[in-house]
Structure 1
Amino acid sequence: MTGNDYYKSLGLKCGLEIHQQLDSETKLFCHCPNQIIDTKDAQIEFFRFLRPVVSEMGEIDKAAIEQSKLNRKYCYKGYDTTCLVEYDEEPPSEVNPEALEISLVIAKLLQMRPADQVHVMRKIVLDGSNTTGFQRTAFLAGGGIVETSSGDVGIDVLCLEEEAAQKVGERSESIVYSLDRLGIPLVEIGTAPDIISPSHAKETAQQIGMLLRSTGCVKRGLGTIRQDVNISIEKGVRVEIKGVQALDMIETIVEREVERQLNLLKIQNALLNRKATVVEEIFDVTDIFSRTTSKVIKKALKNNHGKVYGVKLVGFSGIIGEEIQPGRRFGTEISDHAKTSGVGGLFHTDELPKYGITQNELDIMRKKLEANENDALIIVADDHNKAYSAMDSVIKFTKQTLEYGVIESTRRALPDGNSSYMRPLPGAARMYPETDVPPVKVSMQYFNSIKVPELLSEKAIRYAHEFDLNEELAKHIVYSKDLDLFNLLIKRYDSESRVTSTLVVRTLTAIVPELRREGLDTTGLKDNHFVQLFDMIAEGTIAKEAIDHVLRYLCKNPEKTTEDAASDLSLIGVGKVEIEEFIVQLVEEKQDFINEKGMGAVGPLMGIVMKEFRGKVDGQVVNNTLAQKIKEYLSEE
């Protein structure tokens, strides 16, 4: 059974929500610059407490209720690049027209139909990432498609919205956010659930990413694009996994979520066969642990309000330790739900005695709760309000597992491809109109007048032909953030120059990333460094073999010029006479080797010459000279 057939048999439904920051001059609802500042030294700091409120429909969103359980203080850092709009001390301005136009270009690329009027809405968000307690978002277009090798994927929604503040730290009971990112314009693109496999999800994200980058008006770099993945299988439910930043992780995310849902369904079946039940009572077992050696419990009980609470899960013994994703067990899933109340974690009898909790303490607790060896007990130690709320969440989640197997939820993507519980899926109650921002009319005349840029996929084909690049190199440079630099460089040299398009591409897309992978800081490499570097190669001042050495030096000394680097490294080219003299002497020394290998000696001996002159000579010149001298020697023999 092929991968697609396997996931089809499971009834996989998958869709993507892609969030891409736009590279406009200013933010979405104010005139502050659209930039992330290098330093986090704030000119102003303030704090907020956020609370859920009743919507215009008379409802409170369940996700907002769960987020508010932590009752955390949110601290915000402001700068001279932020203003009263970010501080929620002044109403927002009208929608940024530049950001709106970029968004409509994206709508055209996705073959979407725009809304006649753009109305801004408020979306309740109580995790502190918005000073207002909500995010401003506006529906722009619908009814589009993106083409893939497995068929068209529908694009249901294109929204223009403001980016959230960036979390930069935590202080005991508070979370610290930086406001430089808050308000940056971004588009949210939501696909239909037409994705049929993990590899198809990755391809769809790649194709949408290509269209976005084709505009030339989106930000690049870590954190500027995020993918949320919606996944369900036939017997499971829809789950939204948020914050997938690495494209290569999308396949693993889908695979692991399918695995999690299948394993939870198996756990549900096993529990039903055991006739398992959840006792809906929270037991105070603090007295049992009054003399415990457990450091976690002792620390909790030092607090005057510290308590140890427990719950009894009838027939759950052995199940809590079952793996649902690689390295994550059912107990980890239970713990995630408990942590929404602010506790650090919990203990369960599938892993005890351990962590300073003794068998005697377990025996006493089992007796008090009237639990036998087939039952599982879960305990938590913390401030009594947090601990009680955590146990309430444990009861709720384990009951839902018994009833449904898998529950709808919003989850956080983890670096290894797994995910952890964040909160329930939000409902319609989280949305209500933004009354401070007037609607924007989008006429079809205006929409039709917007020019569509050349797609990067088409540009790669053109560049391959125009600059005599192979298909792979053309894709590398066209999709690279250094495309403008490539265009600048390639215009400086004619077709007969030592500087070829292939050399420039390999430098920008292979050598520089390799230096970065080695841990060198390449941010100091500026366009003028590369212009000077290739000018020196074109003039014959240095050889192309010097590129790696020069760039490596400049990474460590960015204040230097390329000429300084070449001079300090003694890489200024040597004369042809000096090269010939060295090669003649080498041929004389290696006569036995040359007699044995013939012209096959060129390669090994070339390595010796290149090592001697270390980036000072052109490899092709060395190869030609060496081959000529060896051929002359062999003909004399």
Structure 2
Amino acid sequence: MSELDYEKLGLVAGLEIHQQLDTETKLFCSCPTALREPEASTHRFTRYLHPTKSELGEIDEAALEESRVDREFEYLSYDSTCLVEEDDEPPSRVDSEALATTLEIAQLLDMSVIDQIHVMRKIVVDGSNTSGFQRTMQVAVDGEIETSDGPVGIEDLMLEEESAQRIEETDAGVRYSLDRLGIPLVEIGTKPDIRTPAQAREAAEKIGMYLRSTGQVKRGLGTIRQDVNVSIADGARVEIKGVQSLDDIDDIVRNEARRQVELLDIAETLQANGAHVGEPQDVSAVLEGTDSSVIKRALSGDGTVMAVPLFEFDGFVGRELLPDRRLGTEFADHAKRHGAGGIFHTDELPAYGITEQEVEALAAAVGAGPDDAVALVADDEETASLAIDAVTKRAEVAIERVPEETRDADEDGMTRYLRPLPGAARMYPETDVPPVDPDPAEIETPELLTEKVTRYHEAFGLDETLAEQVAYGRRMAQFERAVEMGVDPTLAAGTLESTVTELRRDDVPVSKLTDRHFDELFEVLADGELAKEGVPELLTALAENPDLSAEEAAEQEELGSAGEDEVRKAVVEVVERHTDQIEAEGMGAFSALMGECMGALRGKADGDVVSDVLREEIQKRA
């Protein structure tokens, strides 16, 4: 597909970046922020959640639609779970470590910190919070970042609690894990200043760099999420939730712009043709003898088949908006929100066991002609009724406009309908947490990662590639501590980046290595108790036996630093075994013998020391 003219389309986009903070405890309690395996759960309980009215007596539309889906929410708790997380006890005060990191982020984004921070409740009834709401607070406003296509304003900076982790769908509803619930999370919202997909990605990368510059954010899959708001001039604002990878942002913006272009073209044509939507009807009798497994299953279980005629829609329900995404897919997304498996429509029939004769009978039953389409849902009576009503409403909107809505991002850069856009009615004050008076003057502005790269290159002599790997890597703090201990910077950087990568490729379980392991490794290196050649073997031992200390692992693997006498003894033994080769080749035998000497010492001696001793011994005999 050719690239769209985004300026002509009037593309407008904004970002909401959600980043977990790497604090010791959660935002409103003293529980740890480490994730647990579901198998470690010690207790389970269930809840049913319902929307509440705001202070103005209004109910948020998104929460209301969510509540129409009757679901039970099951929660896995652990030996580390407290009553705050289970919503059986009021929250504690805002975590000071999380607030300090948030103020650092505000400084990096050149934002104005508000005078007094008030905690608010944001209604969430999808089960992701045991209380039915998320606690959130505005910390700063009015910042800005630079991109190659111009500045992008930062609207606000929020500090809030992370939601519970969705584990799986169950027959009754959804199962969540409480280990993630309450982890401090910052939300950074940009102004709608983004005009191209490339600028959206660049802005997200820039904000991500600022966040990692604090050294206080969690890393790894699921710790950062991007929401993208996209619209075009004649379209509508669409919020796309849960973009996991920065690599997907430009594709998400590009695809949403094209989707809206196609929907506008469909609406214009449908209006010109006088399209309209009929009333849903029960067509079970028409399809009673069908070979369609889906319909047979529904009817055999006292279910029903509901259909709606879509006048002047022939060919449009099956029209492709994006690869493998059609207008009918949009209708199906709405049906699925009410528990249906999907829909059938006449643009794709006969198929799926439905014959040509049954399609004709179906059209006749609902009064559809050759220019019309029919959409149908087969399920239990309540589900089919709710689903066909949702399809009817979405078809009516298809004639009029692009709908404002919240969509969910898929891994392939596509999106699907999630719920209506939330409104102001979902927010109201939190009465259990007192306001906070922040003091930005006490906060030091962190060094940017880009500045660290320059410093590592100029002050420590790292090449630019290695300097960038360390600065942007997960072990940047370990590198700086190692250098402070006196470890050679190149050795420290190479250990954290190259050595760990090589061990991972050799199937060493390096994911078990913790900050403690690296700190202890660098301590024994700094104290001269380990030669640099023994680093890979020591890391391997620690990864395979994580409970060991670095000293214990070194002793177990016999990796202590060898003295000069031990080095010379090992070198002499190698040289004496190869006297004929030395007499014939002289120093030409050096390379072959060097490898044998290092193998004999098993990483206990520095290569430079071994090299010097070997040269001496060869020269004596050459």
Per-residue CA shift, 1:380-404, capped at 9, x if unaligned?
1111111111111111111111101
Say yes or no: does 1:459 pair with 2:452. Answer: yes
Distance 1:342 1:242 in 2: 21
Match 2:419 to one of 412, 419, 423 = 423
| 1:296 alignment partner, SS class | helix
Say yes or no: does 1:409 pair with 2:405. Answer: yes
User: Paired residue for 1:594?
Assistant: none
Cα distance change on mapping 1:581 and 1:352 into 2, 3 Å: farther
User: Paired residue for 1:383?
Assistant: 380
Match 2:293 to one of 283, 292, 295 = 295
User: Paired residue for 1:595?
Assistant: none
User: 2:571–2:614: 8 Å Cα contact kept in structure 1?
Assistant: no
| 2:22 alignment partner, SS class | coil
Letter in 2 for 1:481: R
Letter in 2 for 1:322: R
Instruction: State the shift of 1:91 in Å.
Output: 2.2
Cα distance change on mapping 1:544 and 1:102 into 2, 3 Å: closer
Letter in 2 for 1:363: E
Cα distance change on mapping 1:172 and 1:485 into 2, 3 Å: same
| 1:29 alignment partner, SS class | coil
User: Paired residue for 1:341?
Assistant: 338
Q: How many equivalent pairs are there?
A: 609
The worse-fitting range, judged by mean Cα deviation, of 347-356 and 129-138 is 347-356
Per-residue CA shift, 1:433-473, capped at 9, x if unaligned?
2222222234xxx3223222222221221111111012222
Letter in 1 for 2:103: L
Taking structure 2 as the reference length, the TM-score comes to 0.85
The worse-fitting range, judged by mean Cα deviation, of 456-465 and 529-538 is 529-538
Instruction: State the shift of 1:192 in Å.
Output: 0.5
Instruction: State the shift of 1:586 in Å.
Output: 9.5
Name the Cα RMSD after superposition.
3.9
User: 1:157–1:190: 8 Å Cα contact kept in structure 2?
Assistant: yes
The worse-fitting range, judged by mean Cα deviation, of 568-577 and 204-213 is 568-577
Cα distance change on mapping 1:625 and 1:398 into 2, 3 Å: farther
Structure 1 segment 215-614 matched on structure 2, within 5 A: 215-273=214-272, 275=273, 277-304=275-302, 306-404=303-401, 406-442=402-438, 446-492=439-485, 501-513=489-501, 516=504, 521-526=509-514, 530=518, 555=543, 558=546
Instruction: State the shift of 1:569 in Å.
Output: 9.8
Letter in 2 for 1:429: A
Letter in 1 for 2:354: I
User: Paired residue for 1:55?
Assistant: 54
Cα distance change on mapping 1:323 and 1:569 into 2, 3 Å: farther
Per-residue CA shift, 1:481-528, capped at 9, x if unaligned?
2112222333455xxxxx853344244234434655787632222456
Instruction: State the shift of 1:238 in Å.
Output: 1.0
User: 1:610–1:619: 8 Å Cα contact kept in structure 2?
Assistant: no
User: Paired residue for 1:176?
Assistant: 175
User: 2:23–2:33: 8 Å Cα contact kept in structure 1?
Assistant: yes
User: 1:40–1:178: 8 Å Cα contact kept in structure 2?
Assistant: no
| 1:343 alignment partner, SS class | coil
Cα distance change on mapping 1:569 and 1:380 into 2, 3 Å: farther
Distance 1:84 1:511 in 2: 44
Distance 1:578 1:533 in 2: 30
Distance 2:224 2:597 in 1: 43
Structure 2: tracts of 5 or more residues without a match: 616-622
Instruction: State the shift of 1:567 in Å.
Output: 10
Cα distance change on mapping 1:535 and 1:334 into 2, 3 Å: same
The worse-fitting range, judged by mean Cα deviation, of 311-320 and 136-145 is 311-320
Per-residue CA shift, 1:348-370, capped at 9, x if unaligned?
22222222222232221122122
| 1:147 alignment partner, SS class | strand
User: 1:543–1:615: 8 Å Cα contact kept in structure 2?
Assistant: no
User: 1:609–1:622: 8 Å Cα contact kept in structure 2?
Assistant: no
| 2:101 alignment partner, SS class | helix
Letter in 1 for 2:278: E
Distance 1:588 1:324 in 2: 79
Cα distance change on mapping 1:479 and 1:586 into 2, 3 Å: farther
Distance 1:167 1:226 in 2: 15
Taking structure 1 as the reference length, the TM-score comes to 0.84
| 1:365 alignment partner, SS class | helix
Distance 2:500 2:366 in 1: 64
User: 1:277–1:315: 8 Å Cα contact kept in structure 2?
Assistant: yes
The worse-fitting range, judged by mean Cα deviation, of 356-365 and 462-471 is 356-365
User: Paired residue for 2:620?
Assistant: none
| 1:108 alignment partner, SS class | helix
Instruction: State the shift of 1:145 in Å.
Output: 1.2
The worse-fitting range, judged by mean Cα deviation, of 216-225 and 617-626 is 617-626
User: Paired residue for 2:72?
Assistant: 73
Distance 1:532 1:577 in 2: 33
Letter in 2 for 1:37: R
Distance 1:24 1:566 in 2: 32
Cα distance change on mapping 1:49 and 1:530 into 2, 3 Å: closer
The worse-fitting range, judged by mean Cα deviation, of 258-267 and 307-316 is 258-267
Instruction: State the shift of 1:310 in Å.
Output: 0.8
Letter in 1 for 2:408: R
User: 1:27–1:184: 8 Å Cα contact kept in structure 2?
Assistant: yes
Cα distance change on mapping 1:98 and 1:620 into 2, 3 Å: closer
User: 1:276–1:313: 8 Å Cα contact kept in structure 2?
Assistant: no
Letter in 2 for 1:74: F
| 1:168 alignment partner, SS class | strand
User: 1:546–1:614: 8 Å Cα contact kept in structure 2?
Assistant: no
Distance 2:79 2:599 in 1: 55
Letter in 2 for 1:437: V
Letter in 1 for 2:513: L
Cα distance change on mapping 1:202 and 1:576 into 2, 3 Å: farther
User: 1:583–1:626: 8 Å Cα contact kept in structure 2?
Assistant: no
User: Paired residue for 2:201?
Assistant: 202
Structure 1 segment 4-23 matched on structure 2, within 5 A: 6-23=5-22
User: Paired residue for 1:186?
Assistant: 185
Distance 1:58 1:529 in 2: 56
Cα distance change on mapping 1:505 and 1:330 into 2, 3 Å: farther
Per-residue CA shift, 1:274-310, capped at 9, x if unaligned?
x152323101111122222222222222323x11111
Cα distance change on mapping 1:344 and 1:470 into 2, 3 Å: same
Structure 1: tracts of 5 or more residues without a match: 494-498, 592-598, 628-637
Per-residue CA shift, 1:571-625, capped at 9, x if unaligned?
9999657887999999999x9xxxxxxx9xx99x99x999999997999999999
User: Paired residue for 2:619?
Assistant: none
User: 2:485–2:526: 8 Å Cα contact kept in structure 1?
Assistant: no
Letter in 2 for 1:464: H
Distance 1:28 1:286 in 2: 53
Distance 2:306 2:5 in 1: 44
Distance 1:123 1:535 in 2: 47
Instruction: State the shift of 1:378 in Å.
Output: 1.2
| 1:153 alignment partner, SS class | strand
Letter in 2 for 1:428: A
User: 2:485–2:522: 8 Å Cα contact kept in structure 1?
Assistant: no
Letter in 2 for 1:369: V
User: 2:277–2:395: 8 Å Cα contact kept in structure 1?
Assistant: no
User: 1:118–1:140: 8 Å Cα contact kept in structure 2?
Assistant: yes
